[in-house]
Structure 1
Amino acid sequence: MSHIAVERNRRRQMNEHLKVLRSLTPCFYIKRGDQASIIGGVIEFIKELHQVLQALESKKRRKSLSPSPGPSTPRPLQLPTQPDHSPLGFESVGEVGACCNSSLADVEARISGSNVVLKIISRRIPGQILKIINVLEKFSFEVLHLNISSMEDTVLYSFVIKIGLECQLSLEELAVEVQQSFFLEPVFQNQI
């Protein structure tokens, strides 16, 4: 087989593999159709899946180490970051982001270009996504993209949000406000 035929076959296989990767990755992660963008998007998607996997493995370890078979006290899931700790469960993630963790959810907000990327890892709570979106809209954020990944009773919400002109919140305040939405009453209450 000639060198040209071998190279043509290699490019055809590479293009087929890239098509498969693109079809398996949510469109938000792939900004353009070139090879580098596809591979970069797949890497970001795999990193998020890895975060969910780490959270689930940590939860599984805690359950197996728990001495009592009864219901356990909820503990915070840990995002794989290296934050600087400060009081009240609030953490700083470098200059461009912030985290706020509690027993119900871990919230991370960071700047990405001209938008904010908001990631929340929590236990699955019915109606919680509506409460989070209400908080974002209340403070003049516009949801550009939302990706929800779940496994068993753990869920990862990944938002890309645009900062509205009227918005006066810092990243730290945004993380705290979203965190507080987990302590609010349900959005829809059963009517008798």
Structure 2
Amino acid sequence: MTVATWTIDAYSLHWPLTAADGTTIDTLALKPILHGDHARIIEAYGDDDDRLIQLLSVSSGVDASVLEELRRPDYNSLAVRIAELVTQDAAHFMGSDRAARQDPDAPELLLPITVNGQQITSVTLSVPTLKASRLMTKYKTAYERAEFITAHCTGLMLPDLALLSVPDWNTLQERINDFLNETADSFQTGM
């Protein structure tokens, strides 16, 4: 089986930056942002600009202090790119043929993860039990509730969930939200 790889187009700066070592940075090569990094940054930084700079640093590998020197139009363009990377689901980044073949209950990952030495290219979701959904409500924050129910529905451990790309995480959240809020006749079964 060939695993599709997800790459993000590099961003060519209109106004190059100077790295700490004096080299010129004229292009930012962006990589996917992982759910664990995204969650950590959202928790640690309250200001939108601070969050964006940190997310951009994680995605580009460029130190935040260097990114502070971005010219505002480049920053604005990158803000749109980063927002897309953390708000869209996996289908948004797949070709239309690949997205059309997606099984909502076993979505293919944009960015495969390795768990216990095994590469995982798709995640099979199970419908949560009433007991699990009730236990979920005992957690204080929406983030803790989402992590609990996602672990329950996927069988993945919390450290494994942190390895998911944010679009893959978003895809899982959409389907789990369906499980938690839709009626039974909204789902096809093998009966």
Identify, as 1 or 2, the structure richer in helix.
Answer: 2
* TM-score normalised to structure 1 length: 0.28
Greater Rg over alpha carbons, structure? 1
